[in-house]
Amino acid sequence: MSNFEEEFYEDDSDQPPSQNPVRAQLKAQEKELRELRKQVAESQAVQKEMAFVKAGIDLASPMSKYFIKGYDGELTPEAIRLAAEEAQLITPQVSPEDQAEKQGWKQTNRIAAGSEVSPPPASWIKRIQDAASKDEVFAIYEEASAQGIEL
């Protein structure tokens, strides 16, 4: 029998002769894999938390904590916001278009009810005195004549 193993381990000074180098490398890779999986899990948790923050969810609220644990939908702020509104966790956001439409309906309802009060007519003399240019004065005269008022 040859002294091949003894010579092999003598050349490899950083590995002890009693340990298998392949097994040691495999253990190192397994350790690295565990660390990488841990980092991926932490990254996913941070991404999920960030999506809830972008959706306007208060992470400190006890109800929010249960909502976050139980949420299994898409991790987009819009989907989270809709689910939170359905759960009555947050108040629905009103878009500017919806707000304008709501104002229009209120005004229509007031007019229909006869409760629309027109603002008092402006003092034509005061408006003419406050006019900064000749064109403004002519515009005021045209407005008054369109309403049937002689100045």
Instruction: Work out the burial of residue 57: count CB atoms within 10 Å of its CB; fewer than 13 is exposed, 13-18 middle, 19 or more buried.
Output: buried
pLDDT tens, residue by residue, 71-102: 888 989 899 999 998 888 888 776 677 778 88
- Cα–Cα dist 3/16, whole Å: 16
pLDDT tens, residue by residue, 39-48: 999 999 899 9
Would you give the DSSP letter of residue 1? -
C-beta of residue 75 within 8 angstroms of C-beta of residue 45: no
The model's pTM: 0.45
Rounded to the nearest integer, the mean pLDDT of the chain is 81
In percent, how much of the chain has pLDDT > 90?
22
Each domain of the chain, given as residue ranges in start order, spans 4-96, 120-151
pLDDT tens, residue by residue, 124-140: 788 888 889 999 989 98
Tokens 């040691």 belong to which residue? 24
